[in-house]
Structures are given as C-alpha cells and as structure tokens.
Chain A
Amino acid sequence: MALSLTGADRYSPEKLPLLEQHVDEQVANRTWNLDANVALLRFYQFSPASVKPQLIVKILVKAIMQAPNPDYKYCITLLPERLQQVDESIFKAVQLANALETSRFGDFWTTANTCRDLLGSIPGFYESVRGFIAHTLVHTYGRVTKRTLADCLKLEGATLDQYLSDKCRAAGWSIVNTPAGDVVALPKNDYNQSVVKRSQELIRFEQVAPMLKAVTVGF
C-alpha cells in the first residue's frame, strides 16, 4: 500500500481511512508500523469526532507486543485521558500494559483473562508477551524454578513442558537436575550473573572526575 507519511500532506486528514485500514492489515499480517499508528492517534486527538475506539485498542495491544521496545509509551501519551476512562477495552489495554511494565505478571494474566476475545483476535499476542516475560526472566535469573516460570508465563503441565523443550532447543535454556529437583538454567548474559565492575567501561575518567569530587564534598 502506498502509505506515505512524509511530504507536504503528512498531516492531511485524507490519510485517515488509509491509516485505519493499515491497522487491520498490521493485525492480520503480524507487522507493526509505529509511525503510521502514531499518525492515526494524532489525527484522533485533533479530531475527536472521528475516533474509533476499537482501532485504538488494536494499536495499543499491538504496541504492548513490541515490548521491551517502548512503543506503547509513545502511543499512550497521545491519547486523551477521557478515552482511557470511558472505553472499557482501552482501559483494559492500559491495565495490561501497566502490569507488564512493572512485572506484575499475576495481575497481567488476571486482566488478560477478562478480555480473551479481544486478545485472541490479535494474532501472536500471547506469543509476544510470553516472549517479553521470558526476556525479563532471562535478564534477571541465572537459574529459575519451574514453579516461578509457570507462574510468570501462565503455563502448566504439558504446555509448559512443550514451551521449555522449544526453548531448550532454540534459545539455549536447559533443564538441570539438582538435589532440590528440576530447575531451568537460563542462558548466561551480562545481567544474570555476577560481573565485575562493568560500570567502568561505560564511562571515561574525565566524566567521573567531577562526581568523585562531588562525593568528597558530600551530595
């Protein structure tokens, strides 16, 4: 589709139908076009009469699926607060995003359970959010109990085992037998093991110097 977001008519309302249609295309094709969606939300803000809440919800849910990229944050500040309050689905999407953002995975799944129809209509939703939850775990845990995994990912029994065996095959996870039972070893990275003073690499001495001085003076 020829959807140009640059040029002289980039803010032109004639683009509205194209942008709206594009949301459904992204849902169907499992793609994501941040600029187009932000442009649509911008139109809606300027022209409240044309707002279609069901499309806003789709954008928000798709944005949540981009985590850890902050696309949801880019979108939500464009949305008038009133919409978040009056539209049930939008309100739900906001709750989902907030729960995910703060790792309240239990709350996330509870809320997700109340809007299964909506989330089921967005192909790839569960896969994406589980991907993000796993990403968070991999950055925090060296080894993790199956119980914690099951709770965070909301997977049980055979489904969990299937998920784990996929991860073991494709993502470097492994199951370790220990005296205390099976635990899952997650692939090592800079964040889930003890590292020695990485902060030194991040900064040059001349950047630290003023801080060191400040510390001696007392902050």
Chain B
Amino acid sequence: MAFRGGYDDGYEGFVQVPDIVKQWAHYFYRHIRERNIPEIQSMYEISFMKLSDRYYKAAPWPEVQHIQEVVDQDHEMYFRHLYARCQPTLRDRCDSWDNYLDLFGLLLTSNVNMQLPNIWLWDMVDEFLYQFQSFCQYRGKVQSMSPEEIENVKKCEAKKVWNTVEVLNILQALVDKSGIVAELEGDGGVRLSELQGYYPQSSNVLRMLGYFSLVGLLRVHCLVGDYITGLKAIYPLNLHERTHLFSPSIPGAHITLFYYGGFAYLMQRRYLDAARCFNAVLLYIYRVKAAHRSSPTFEQMLKKNEQMYALLAICLALCPVAAKSLDENVLMQLRERQSDNMAAMSRGDIDVYDTLFRDACPKFVTSTPPAYDQATTNTNQLAFRAQLNSFLQEVRSGQTLPQLKQYLLLYEGGVGSIALSRLAGLMDVEEGALRQQLLCLKNKQRQLKWEGGRDMTAGTWTVASDLEFHIDVDPQTGREMVLVSDTQQVGEGRAFSVGEGVKTEGG
C-alpha cells in the first residue's frame, strides 16, 4: 500500500467543501438508503455533472473523508471525475485501483441490498476498463519517466496493480457471483429485459454488474487480440438475437457490446456476421441519438458511430455481398461517409484500409509490461501494430482478387467460359499464378456465418460472393476452362474496361 494512506501533510486543512456539495452528498446517500432509483439517477447523471462543472472543473472532487456521509461509491465517482478532468498521477492510479478492489470486493463478499441505477453500474464497469487501458498506455511511455517513477511503476507491477489477469479475474468473479449466465440461459433474458433489471425485493447491483462484466470481458479479450475468447465470453448473450436483449436500454453498454462483437467477427474474417452486428447497432444509434444530445456520453456515441461506419466500409470492401443484409438507412449513411474510401478499397488500395483501421480499431493494450531497464521506445504501439499487421496481411492476401473478379465478370451471362491459359494471357500473369489466384478467390469467398443457436462463434460455411465460377477440364482438348455462372449481380460497380478484343469463348 505504498501509495495509499500516505496523504500529504497539511493538505487536508486547506480543503473547503462548499455547502451545496455537502448537501448533495447527504441527499445522494439518503436516496440510496431509500432505494429511490429515479432520484439517485438524476443526482448521479445531472447534478453531479453540474456541481463538477461549477466547483471542480479542473480539479478533483474533495476526497471522501471531507464529505461527512461516506459511501463507497463516492470513491468511484471521485476517481472517475479525476480521470475525466485532470491528469491522474501514478498515486491516483494506484489509489483508484485499490478503490476498485475494495468496492468490487465488498460487492462480491457482502450481502448487497441496494438498488442503484443501472446506468451507474454500467459506468462503473466501463470506467474500470477505461482506467485499465489508461494505465497500460501510461506504463508504456517508459522513456518519458524519471528513474524514480520507473521504480514506483515496477512496485505497482509487483502488486499487480491494473494487471490484465487481475482485471479479467474481477470481471469473471462478478459474472460468476451474479448468476447472470444461468439466468440468461434459463429464460433467454425475458425477465431481465421486461423488468429492466429491477426485480422487486431484490438488489439489482450484482446482477447488473455481472451482466455488464460480460460486455467487459468481451472488451478486454479483444484488447489483447483474443477475439474467439471474447465472443465466447459473452455467452449466452447473442448479438444476432436481440428480441430480449437488455443492453439497448443502456446505450453505452449496447454500443460497446456491438462494437467489440462486430470487430471480433471482422478480425476472424467473418464479414457477413460483422456487417450484421454493425448494421444493428448503427440503426440503433440512429434511432436513439436525438434523445441523448445532452448526455455526457453523446460525443463518445458519435465517435463510435463514425468508427463503426468505417469498419462497415471495410467489411463491404472485403465482402461486397454483405451489403445485402444492411438496412436502407445504414447503407445511405455509409455511402454518404465512405463511398470514396470504399471505391479505393475495392481497387485494392491498402493505404485506405490502413487508415480506416487505425481510426476505427479499439485502443489495444500491450499486456506485456515493458522492459523498464532498456526501454527506449514507447511499447504502447506493439499491440496495435500486431493487430494492424495481422489485418493488413489478410487484406494483402486478397489484394489481386478484385481485379481478377472484374475479368471474370466479363464472362458472366449465360454460362461464360474462357480457357485458363487465355485468361492468364489477358491478365498478363503466369498460368500457375492465375490458378493460385482462382483457388484463393474460391477460398476467400467462403466464410463462416452464424445461422442459429446461442453460441455466436458457431457458424456454417457460406459462399459470400456475387460471382460464382469453377474450373473444369475440356475432355476434348485437355484445356482448363474457367466457367462463370450467371448470378444476380447486386450493388458492385462494374465500370471496368480491359480494352478491346476480349470475347467470350465457347459456351
């Protein structure tokens, strides 16, 4: 506890807490005792922000011992405010970590009978993970730390402050203790969504913390590049079955769930599933946006909105038929924002993929601590670069395919066919290379797609393409022929010319 308890001498004497703040704390505590959800929520969402703006715009709230009525949650809000408005010091970070340990420890071991606003419980989990990410970022900037600070950070590491495994353990403990998995498995979330999480005669606190921790687990696993575990961790939540999904009533939770869920699918090359997730949540944001104009999370909502349009553009560039599952409105919005980028990507422009990914990917955490003694560079970028490269590797591996598809499209209509050797000549590539590209295109056109069941990671292989072809050997000549089937052509631009002299051969 090196950073805790040792508050600077003489500091306490100077703290002047305005009466109105004391009063606020008094009523806040009383409403919590009386389980007055609407009042707690209003004080939490509105008056706390107002007081913060008025008295603590660029300074932390008074530490809790300065406010007479001490409740544990005040700590949590104290640190949250501090992270939002001020630059936290290492001691702040450690104190906040200890505070979360105390708070979650208390909730996990005692018999909680409070009712708290769900939004507050979500914010708790959300802020916990934000601070985790923030610590990992801070830790990576070794070159800007003094030797003393490095020593202190090392001490924190030894105590597992903001350690990834510890964070996962806490979230998992909340999930397990809450019994949320069994409840959702039992009735598919019907009761939870009907009663909005507030059950008569029972506290909502653990149940909802468990629920939000499922979302938290998805997020942390994605942040370290473990996409399959992330999607498994939210079981039995399923982003494709939304009838009894509770999360839409907490926009932050809902958007987080779908952003990371869609992203996890995207990184697994499941573009159809990713597009469906993004479509659902973009439509949701479109509907609820206006009602949250004055919310403190409004900007964050708009930012995620833009990021997900960028990710959706990537999905469609890599898998044009995914457009078929999109809502008209989403498609329109997408076209307004991303049509140039999409055109560039469908031409195989890697730079555009790179830029969009950078702007729209999560803030990955390098969960490995930096080598403090020899670190000369910022290690924060390691995790990000690994994920970026993994994504670009996938894009590059299909870079020549759009051009190949354009050639094949020329032979579509009836059953068009062309000798493989002739196509190779037209494209100016070796026959072997063309054969490889055709096989590769076939492979890339197939992807797993969720088709039912609670497990989001399950799927059946589906052809996700607007172009169907196969290769056959002409028994008379022994020549390999590429045959293009006539399929319905939807959506993709076909304005592509290969010049004169290309004719459909045979039939």
Contacts and interface: CB of A to CB of B under 8 A. Distances in A.
A144 B471 contact: yes
Nearest to A185: B473
A103 B443 contact: yes
Given A81-B382, A179-B478, A180-B478, 15 more contacts: A45-B225, A46-B165, A47-B368, A48-B368, A74-B227, A77-B225, A81-B389, A142-B470, A142-B471, A178-B476, A192-B470, A209-B328, A211-B326, A211-B491, A219-B491
B504 interface: no
A219 B432 CA distance: 35
Interface stretch (A7-15, A116-124, A162-170): A7-15
Contacts of A209: 328
B229 interface: yes
Interface string B483-497: 101111011110000
A114 interface: no
Interface in B317-351: 321, 323-328, 331-332, 335, 339
A136 interface: yes
Given A98-B397, A102-B397, A137-B439, A34 B478 contact: no
Contacts of A7: 176
B267 A77 contact: yes
B355 interface: no
A197 B472 contact: no
30 contacts: A7-B176, A45-B224, A46-B165, A46-B368, A70-B268, A70-B269, A77-B225, A77-B387, A77-B390, A102-B436, A103-B439, A103-B443, A136-B439, A136-B443, A140-B471, A142-B470, A144-B473, A148-B435, A178-B476, A180-B474, A191-B442, A193-B470, A194-B468, A198-B468, A199-B487, A202-B462, A203-B325, A211-B326, A211-B331, A219-B492
B68 interface: no
A214 B331 contact: yes
Contacts of A48: 368
B440 interface: yes
Contacts of A98: 393, 397
A104 interface: yes
B164 A38 contact: no
Contacts of A210: 326-328, 331
B470 A191 contact: yes
Given A140-B438, A219-B493, A214 B328 contact: yes
Nearest to A213: B328
Interface stretch (B33-41, B109-117, B124-132, B166-174): B166-174
B335 A46 contact: no
Interface string B357-368: 000000000011
A8 B174 CA distance: 10
B116 to A, nearest CB: 25
B227 A76 contact: no
Contacts of B492: 219
B315 to A, nearest CB: 15
Contacts of A29: none
Interface of B: 164-165, 168-169, 172-173, 176, 224-229, 232, 267-269, 321, 323-328, 331-332, 335, 339, 367-368, 382, 385-387, 389-390, 393, 397-398, 415, 432, 435-440, 442-443, 446, 448, 461-463, 466, 468, 470-480, 483, 485-488, 490-493
Contacts of B475: 143, 176, 178-180, 183
A113 interface: no
A78 B164 CA distance: 14
Contacts of A30: none
A45 B368 contact: yes
Interface of A: 7-8, 10-11, 13, 34-35, 38-39, 42, 45-48, 68, 70, 73-74, 76-82, 98, 101-106, 136-137, 139-145, 148, 151, 176, 178-181, 183, 190-200, 202-203, 207-215, 219
Contacts of A70: 268-269, 448
Contacts of A197: 486-488
Contacts of A77: 225-227, 267, 386-387, 390
Given A102-B440, A142-B470, A211-B323, A78 B226 contact: yes
Contacts of A140: 438-439, 442, 470-471
A206 B393 CA distance: 36
Contact of A42 (B229, B432, B468): B229
Contacts of A200: 488
Contacts of A195: 468, 485
Contact of A73 (B268, B331, B440, B488): B268
Nearest to B369: A48
A42 B233 CA distance: 14
A197 B485 CA distance: 8
Contacts of B462: 202
B460 to A, nearest CB: 12
Nearest to B267: A77
Contacts of B446: 68, 139
A212 B328 CA distance: 10
Contacts of B323: 211, 214
Which of B324, B326, B393 has the most chain A CB atoms closer than 10 A to its own CB? B324
Contacts of A104: 436, 440
Which of B164, B339, B415, B436 has the most chain A CB atoms closer than 10 A to its own CB? B436
Contacts of A219: 335, 339, 491-493
B84 to A, nearest CB: 28
A208 B490 contact: yes
B178 to A, nearest CB: 13
A80 B229 contact: no
B225 A203 contact: no
A183 to B, nearest CB: 5
B393 A80 contact: no
A45 B325 CA distance: 37
